[in-house]
Amino acid sequence: MVNLLKLIFMNLFRQPATRLYPFVKREPFKGGRFSLDMDPALCIYCGICQRRCPANAIVVSREPKSWTMDPYKCIVCGYCAEVCPKKCIYMRNTSVEVK
């Protein structure tokens, strides 16, 4: 009983162990892979990203100039963004906006 009371009083005067989320937002991690995005104006539709994707989530067509990505197949590895010659594919931070 004494140990229980001791723990209760210690925790009453201690700072919280977690952050108060809506008021205190966490900064995004450096080098994090958050979400895949593409700028179609820069793309030359070469298909290198499609060949490099380990999950086969990207489909590139040269003739109709289309680029599609299946978000349920994508494993957010970032390989497609690394090999893109025009750097039109990039990883976008969508987790938490830091103000």
Backbone angles phi, psi at 2, to 5 degrees: -65, -40
Total tally of structural domains belonging to the chain: 1
Q: Give the residue among 24, 45, 19 at the shortest CA–CA distance from 99.
A: 24
Backbone angles phi, psi at 25, to 5 degrees: -100, 145
CATH code of the domain containing 42? 3.30.70.20
pLDDT per residue as tens, the chain (99 positions): 889 999 988 888 888 788 888 888 888 777 677 788 889 899 999 999 999 999 999 999 988 999 999 989 999 888 999 999 999 998 887 654 444
Note down the domain range covering 41.
29-92
For residue range 72-99, list pLDDT tens digits in order: 999 988 899 999 999 999 888 765 444 4
- Residue 20 in domain: no
**DSSP assigned state of 77:** -
DSSP count for the chain of H helices, then E strands? 3, 4
